[in-house]
Amino acid sequence: MAADRRSSWLKGVLDLLVLSRLTDGESYGYEIAKALAEAGLGEIKGGTLYPVLNRLEEAALVEAEFRAAERGPGRRYYRLTPLGRERLAAESGAWLTFHRAVQTMLSPGGTTP
């Protein structure tokens, strides 16, 4: 049951986390998933991550470029657009406000801010 809950929480913030991962430069899907897992968010499968990347690309928040590899399959690299940076800044602030409200409510004696 805890894994189901965690999955629900992640769905609400995964777009924002992917945008955040791209602030330091371009990356490809596996590398993004690996960074999210290393951050403690658990394994993000391709069936979850790639629809997010496609949705972000359709919304012009990221741009993608396919690059062939000398060995092995090519990769699709993603990078933030200026609109993606703007959205990340706005949504990060909203998320942090929400997080603080939840944290306050979960603290002993928590009340609404």
Pairwise CA distance, residues 60 & 85, whole Å:
11
Write down the pTM of the prediction: 0.86
**Cα distances (angstroms) measured from residue 56 to each of 38, 60, 64, 89, 95:** 22, 6, 10, 15, 18
> Is residue 18 within 8 Å of residue 56, measured between CB atoms?
yes
User: How many beta carbons lie within 10 A of that of residue 92, not counting itself?
Assistant: 13
pLDDT by 10s per residue, the chain, length 113: 466 777 788 888 999 999 999 999 999 999 999 999 999 998 999 999 999 999 999 999 999 999 998 888 889 999 999 999 999 999 999 999 999 999 999 988 766 55
The first and second tokens of residue 33, run together, are 């998933």
Q: Is 68 helix (H, G, I), strand (E, B) or coil?
A: coil
